[in-house]
Amino acid sequence: MGRGASITVSASMMDRARSKIITVLIVAAPILGGCAGANMPAIVTVPPGDERIVFTAAEFKGMTPQRVKYTDLWQREEYALFRANGAQAEIIYASAKEDASTALEYGYTVEGTIKTWNLNKKFDIQWRKVQRIAVPFGDIFYKPYLLKGKNRECFGFAREWDHLSDDPDHRPGKVLFGYFCAKAGEHISEDGIEELIQRIGVRGVTERLGSRRGSGGDVAPASADAVMIARGADASSESGNANFPFGFARHYIVGNGDGRLTRLK
């Protein structure tokens, strides 16, 4: 191939490549053992007391959500699945490590995040207008939609905050996104959507990190593999997100955007 030739790489190819890189690193971690220790990437179920995502919707009262986290030197991502009484919600919260010159390369719209979930990929979607609501930690954008093949009313939501002043691109240090779907045939009013959104939070942000209130109960170790919980067991799964972990973290050099380093694209 000549020096002037170019290669076109689709976004899906990049996603698959990034996923394979992260998976290889995770699989290699036990083999490397003491060579890297806690610095190696890892996808594990979230132990009791380490939960971040809070959702106190009445539909999920008394149930224990499935939670998985991904950690490495630069970031933490938590995935949570809430499913009970015919309703389902999935949420991802990502945060960059503080004091590490690390920001999150997050460029999704609300609609873009909705399309990443396995459930939403399986059915035609009828969209409604994106809206915004104030919550204790800022404004959340949300977009109602209908899964036509399931006759389920849903809404997706997204919030980014903690933008880093010394990052040349002023990217966020924290992002939260997910969706809620009511049981088939059940209507969600605008007031109902806003009431549900007010029940979404993050331990360490909207409440004290040491608090267990609203965490959804004690989190027992999941019997299924953590990777399959977060990504979905197979192509037919109606839960999970095949992009997990997103690996948003990017290291930056203060005052020099051209010199910014990237990781695990």
What is the pLDDT, as a whole number, of residue 127? Answer: 98
Residue 264 inside a domain? The answer is no
- Distance between first and last Cα of the chain: 25
What is the pLDDT, as a whole number, of residue 41? Answer: 86
Distances in Å between the alpha carbon of 36 and those of 33, 40, 134, 186, 264?
6, 6, 42, 50, 17
Residue 27 inside a domain? The answer is no
Per residue, what are the HEC states of the chain? CCCCCCCCCCHHHHHHHHHHHHHHHHHHHHHHHHHCHHHCCEEEECCCCCCCEEECCHHHCCCCCEEEEEECCCEEEEEEEEEECCEEEEEEEEEECCCCCEEECCCCCHHHHHCCCHHHHCCCEEECCCEEEEECCEEEEEEEEEECCCCEEEEEEEEEECCCCCCCCCCCCEEEEEEEECCCCCCCCHHHHHHHHCCEEEECCCECCCCCCCCCCCCCCCCCCHHHHHHCCCCCCCCCCCCCCCCCEEECCCCCHHHCCCCCC
* d(C-alpha 239, C-alpha 106), whole Å: 22
Residue 25 inside a domain? The answer is no
* d(C-alpha 180, C-alpha 87), whole Å: 8
Residue 6 inside a domain? The answer is no
The number of distinct structural domains making up the chain is 1
CB atoms under 10 Å from CB of 139, counted, come to 10
Residue 111 inside a domain? The answer is yes
- The model's pTM is 0.80
Residues spanned by the domain of 125 = 42-259
* d(C-alpha 264, C-alpha 247), whole Å: 6
Residue 30 inside a domain? The answer is no
What is the pLDDT, as a whole number, of residue 85? Answer: 95
What is the pLDDT, as a whole number, of residue 4? Answer: 33
Residue 195 inside a domain? The answer is yes
Residue 171 inside a domain? The answer is yes
Residue carrying structure tokens 């996923």? 19
Distances in Å between the alpha carbon of 93 and those of 54, 71, 142, 199, 240?
10, 12, 16, 15, 14
Tell me the pLDDT of the chain (265 aa) as tens digits: 333 332 233 334 444 444 444 544 444 443 333 333 455 788 999 998 999 999 999 999 999 999 999 999 999 999 999 999 999 999 999 999 987 789 999 999 999 999 999 999 999 999 999 999 998 888 999 999 999 989 999 999 999 999 988 889 999 999 999 999 999 999 999 999 999 999 999 998 887 766 554 444 443 444 458 999 999 988 889 999 999 999 999 999 876 444 444 333 2
Contact by Cβ (8 Å): 119, 239: yes
Residue carrying structure tokens 């806003």? 194
Distances in Å between the alpha carbon of 130 and those of 42, 134, 174, 182?
35, 14, 21, 18
